[in-house]
Amino acid sequence: MGGMARSKNSSAVTEQRSGADAPNPVWFKPVMFGFMLLGLAWIIVFYLSQGAFPVPALGSWNILVGFGIAFVGFLMTTRWR
């Protein structure tokens, strides 16, 4: 009986740990890579259009916007399990 009580306690500890280290939802990885690719695409479009797109009013700030979008994706990688 002592072994039985021990296995129940160890499984309770395992359940608590697995709850904290639970895998990410299915949508997490596509959104993470989507942000990184969208930021890259934003910067590429800005350079190829010579500043005419994606938002002409922002001018060179479009580069910062693109890097900001990609940075959100890179920040998400720290939470990826």
Per residue in 5-26, pLDDT (tens digit) is 555 555 555 555 555 678 999 9
The span from the CA of 81 to the CA of 67, in Å, is 24
Consecutive 10-residue averages of pLDDT for the chain (81 residues): 56 56 92 98 96 94 97 95 88
pLDDT of amino acid 64? 97
pLDDT of amino acid 35? 98
pLDDT of amino acid 16? 55
Q: Find out whether 33 and 16 touch, Cβ atoms under 8 Å.
A: no
pLDDT of amino acid 18? 57
pTM reported for the whole predicted model: 0.72
pLDDT of amino acid 11? 54
